[in-house]
Amino acid sequence: MQYIIIGLVILLIIIFIAGIKFVPQASEFVVERLGTYSRSLSAGPHYVIPFLEKVAKRVSIKEQVVDFKPQPVITKDNVTMQIDTVVFYRITDAKQYTYGVERPISAIENLTATTLRNIIGELELDATLTSRDVINTKITAILDNATDPWGIKVNRVELKNIIPPREIQDSMERQMKAERERREKILQAEGEKKSQILVAEGEKESKILKAEAEKEAEILRAEAEKQAMILRADAVRQQKILEAQGEAESIQLVQNALAESLVKLNQSDPKENVIALKSLEAFAKAADGRATKIIIPSEIQGLAGMVTSIKEIAANSVQQPPVKK
């Protein structure tokens, strides 16, 4: 009997321990009591009544990512493409997630595919390829509203790949190649244009600088010639001034000498013969000039005749030989 009691105590302890549940962080447990929803357990220790309650579902409330396989869609201009999507979602209500929809991930996948077909059907191929952000925003808004009753919050939806038909890809590649070649030619033409402009501007600047240099050189030469002429004119003027001063001083000296000679002559009380001789000397100097007509005073004429007679007598006496005794 004692062993039976010990066994029952141990069994009760095991059952009690079995009812203790530890919920991990970022998780929730859905508890059912006798097959119906009882409560949701958040992170931490909890107790579940054995045999009456059970954990029906363990739910992770972390953000999750699901990658759906490519879905065929048709654009407005009847081009069939393959588009695969990536959905980022998070479970906000464990109860609704558990009981709201069967296979919620499959439901999200099908809802994504139908929504994507509706959106792409309103767009043409070019708009589809260039409007990823618009498509992502529309799909996210539609899925978020549709999954609220399921306890799911769709944070964002991304178009992972847009795969058009092979012939469309080839056409797009040729178009892109042509566009790149066109841009390359435009860039080359613009580069050549800028190069020619720079060369022309360089030549223009060179000519301008050369012309300015020549102009400045001409100005400097003219200034130098002007200064040289001014210096030559000053030299000539100084030379003439000095010559004039020399002539004036010479004339002054001659006049002073004549005046002194006249003063000395007057002081010496000259005789008539001396005065006549001086008159002859002055007449000789006057006759030595360029005058074509000379008026000779009568006194000088008589004196000149006398001088001539004296000169002849002296010449005759020189020519006659002396008388021998």
Model pLDDT, residue 154: 93
pLDDT digits (tens, 9 = 90+) for 187-236: 999 988 888 999 888 888 888 988 888 888 889 888 888 888 888 888 88
**Residue 124: helix, strand or coil by DSSP?**
coil
Statement: residue 6 has pLDDT above 50: yes
Considering only residues 297 and 247, tell me which one the structure prediction assigns the higher pLDDT.
Answer: 247
| pLDDT for res 30 | 92
157, β-bridge pairs: 87
Query: Where is pLDDT greater, at 308 or 146?
Result: 146
Q: Give the per-residue pLDDT at 89.
A: 93
DSSP letter at 30 equals E
Q: What residues does 59 pair with on adjacent strands?
A: 28
46 alpha carbon, distance to own chain's centre: 72
- Domains of the chain and any CATH numbers: 2-59 (no CATH), 64-164 (3.30.479.30)
User: Taking the CB of residue 21, how many other CB atoms lie within 10 A of it?
Assistant: 15
Closest to 114 (Cα-Cα) out of 66, 68, 169, 63: 68
Token pair of 155 as six digits: 């944070």
pLDDT higher than threshold 60 for residue 53 = yes
Out of 2-6, 124-128, 246-250, 308-312, pick the least confident.
Answer: 308-312
Long-range pairs, 6-11, Cβ under 8 A, ≥24: none
CA–CA gap between residue 220 and residue 211 (Å, rounded) = 14
Q: Find the helix packing angle between 132-147 and 104-120, rounded to 10°.
A: 140
- Mean pLDDT to the nearest integer, 99-111: 89
Give pLDDT, residue 155. Answer: 92
Query: Is 295 or 20 the better-scoring residue by pLDDT?
Result: 20
Does residue 316 surpass a pLDDT of 90?
no
Mean pLDDT of 130-158: 91
What confidence score (pLDDT) does residue 63 get?
92
Q: Which of 97, 16, 8, 26 is nearest to 49 (CA)?
A: 16
Q: What is the mean pLDDT of residues 271-275?
A: 57
pTM of this prediction? 0.52
